[in-house]
Amino acid sequence: MTNPKWLAVAARSSGQHTWTLGYVFEKYREYEGKSVEALAEELGCSLETLAWLSLCRRPSEEHFAEHLEEIGKRFEVEPHLLAAVVRHVEVLDVLPPSRGAQEEEEGEVTVLLAARDHTDEGDEDDEDETSP
């Protein structure tokens, strides 16, 4: 069976709708700097299958695993590979955009530090700070 002529256009335009896998794929490629071919290879599918997948709705949170299983069976794609791409985009979509270069230009530098709940025995600098 040959693919319809409209498939490539529909797959590209699906990237504009957040409720589609096309959006997920577009964002994933943007975040990871991957080509369409590289994404298809990562998912273990053809470019044509990737185009069809792009037209699918994103899995709902309530039935995430079930929806991934259905999509995987229908398009012969490993659900765990698809889940990794979807979750990756979900996480990066909620993080604030990186502004590293812009912050340096404006003189604002943000530094995130991790707290430790214990000190290392061999760390003499920490002992000096707490000693009277």
CA proximity to 1, closest of 67, 71, 49: 49
Are 43 and 72 a contacting pair, CB within 8 Å?
A: no
What is this structure's pTM? 0.69
Distances (CA, A) of 91 to 31, 95, 98: 11, 7, 14
pLDDT digits (tens, 9 = 90+) for 61-105: 999 999 999 999 999 999 999 999 999 999 998 887 765 444 445
Residues 6+ apart with CB under 8 A from 127: 119
Structure tokens given for 122: 């061999």
Give pLDDT tens digits for 21-71.
999 999 999 999 999 999 999 999 999 999 999 999 999 999 999 999 999
